[in-house]
Amino acid sequence: MENMEKVKAFGAAIARAKEELRRDLVGQEEVVDNVLVAIVAGGNVLLEGVPGVGKTRLVRSLGRVLSLPFSRIQFTPDLMPADITGTEVIAKDADGNMKNEFREGPVFANLVLADEINRATPKTQSALLEAMQEHKVTVAGKSYALAEPFFVLATENPIEQDGTYPLPEAQMDRFMFKLLMRFPTVAELLDIVKMTRYTLEETAEAVMDGKTILEMRALSREVPVLDEVLDYAARLVAGTHPELDAATPTAKKYLKYGASPRAVQALVSAARVRALMEGRFNVSFEDINALALPVLRHRVKINYTAVSDKLSVDDVVAMLLKEIKK
């Protein structure tokens, strides 16, 4: 059966990708799983973690595993938009005539690592908006399509706040997931030390390419979703808006504003991929619940009441999940 073969190929590709990533990254299984979900679903990912937990390494290994053109942009305060998107330069053609020529920036790759994205100015950060959402770049009034599949994996450091520029909400909304990379356990630290005795280089090998990813994405879109599950996802997102009637008591008490409609899209499309990765052919409530934190934590903002009650965003989202009936 053709579909069954596709599904088997999907599962095998994911399993191999995880295996290869595990060669370079110790622990962080949930982050790896969710990054793969976002890649297949076509979403961008914001990785947050203290220095040294493997954010950049994960993205570099991912670039190897996916065998896609990979570029890394180190965001700094003096980084300019043109440094990302590219710019037009005056160049001579074969006949020696001068003409304007567009030089592509580092965003013209399938996998873009925006390292320490919050160190660049909002103007520069915003240069990625069009690329992340529409997968194209407009320079000097001319649009240039980016190659598919296209992903932005950004990292940020939560503890160094001096000289950083918080990402604007519009840009945050473009990230399908915000994943938190926790500090490794002692056992994982030991594994990391052992691994670096031999090499600091990534050793993961390519197991899939862009075409495979696009096929996997197309397959995931065929996963059926119950109306009740869709309704649950919609109520969950609407429930984060304290100003709406649908808001839960927790949202009214602890949230300043809620998630955008992109959150529902992200939840459902990511849930489809997760279901397939779990070997299922339908989306369940459990898929929505499992993905609620990475999808919502960067899209909602807690208020001072939550801060004074020592609640994090994750705590509030977990409370929301308990309040929404299936």
Partner 1 sequence: MSETFLRIKKSAGREALYKSLALGLAVAMLLCGLLLLLNKLALPLPLPLLLIPGLLAGTAVFSVSYLLLKKSDKRLARHLDRTYHLNEAVETMIAFRDAEGELLPLQRQQAEEALRALPPPKSPLKRFWRSAAALLVSAAVLIGAVALPTKSAEEPSEDTPFAISSFQLGALRQLIDEVKATEAMTPSARVEITAELERLYTTLQSVTTQFRMKSEVIATIVSVDMLIENVNTFKLLAVALDEGMHDDAKALAASLIALNGIGFGEDLVPLREHYRGAEATIALGALATDLTASLTAVVEEYARLAQDPLYLGLSQFAADLSAAAADQSGNENTVSALVDKAFAEAGDDVGCELSTQYANKTICLRVVDKLAEIFHIPEAEIPPLLVNTVPTLSTDQSGEGDEEDENENAGGYGEGNELFGSNDTIYHPFGENGAAHVPYGDAYGYYHRRIEDLLQYGNLDETTKQQLIDYFARLSDGSKG
Q: Give residues in contact with partner 1 (CB under 8 A).
A: 3-4, 6-7, 219, 222-229, 280-286
Report phi then psi at 185, rounded to 5.
Answer: -75, 170
Q: Between 223 and 251, whose beta carbon lies closer to partner 1?
A: 223
Q: What is the C-alpha to C-alpha distance for residues 133 and 260, in angstroms, rounded to an integer?
A: 14
CB 302 within 8 A of CB 252: no
Q: What is the C-alpha to C-alpha distance for residues 24 and 64, in angstroms, rounded to an integer?
A: 11
CA 219, chain centre distance (Å): 20
Residue 273 CB, nearest approach to partner 1 (Å): 13
Residue 40 CB, nearest approach to partner 1 (Å): 15
> Nearest 5 degrees, angle CA 122-CA 117-CA 271?
110
CB 157 within 8 A of CB 166: no
By C-alpha distance, which of 272, 309, 284, 297 is closest to 46? Answer: 297
Q: What is the C-alpha to C-alpha distance for residues 158 and 53, in angstroms, rounded to an integer?
A: 12
Q: Read off the tokens for 95.
A: 């006949």
Residue 294 CB, nearest approach to partner 1 (Å): 20
- Through-space distance between the first and last CA atoms of the chain, rounded to whole angstroms: 35
Q: Between 48 and 287, whose beta carbon lies closer to partner 1?
A: 287
Helix (H) or strand (E) holding 74: strand 70-74
Residue 18 CB, nearest approach to partner 1 (Å): 21
Q: Between 3 and 305, whose beta carbon lies closer to partner 1?
A: 3
Q: Between 232 and 254, whose beta carbon lies closer to partner 1?
A: 232
> Nearest 5 degrees, angle CA 10-CA 56-CA 263?
60
Q: Is the peptide bond before 158 cis (omega within 30 degrees of 0)?
A: no
Residue 265 CB, nearest approach to partner 1 (Å): 20
Residue 2 CB, nearest approach to partner 1 (Å): 9
Q: Between 183 and 281, whose beta carbon lies closer to partner 1?
A: 281
Q: Between 102 and 285, whose beta carbon lies closer to partner 1?
A: 285
Q: Between 155 and 220, whose beta carbon lies closer to partner 1?
A: 220
Q: What is the C-alpha to C-alpha distance for residues 89 and 231, in angstroms, rounded to an integer?
A: 51
Residue 317 CB, nearest approach to partner 1 (Å): 21
Q: How many residues does the chain have?
A: 326
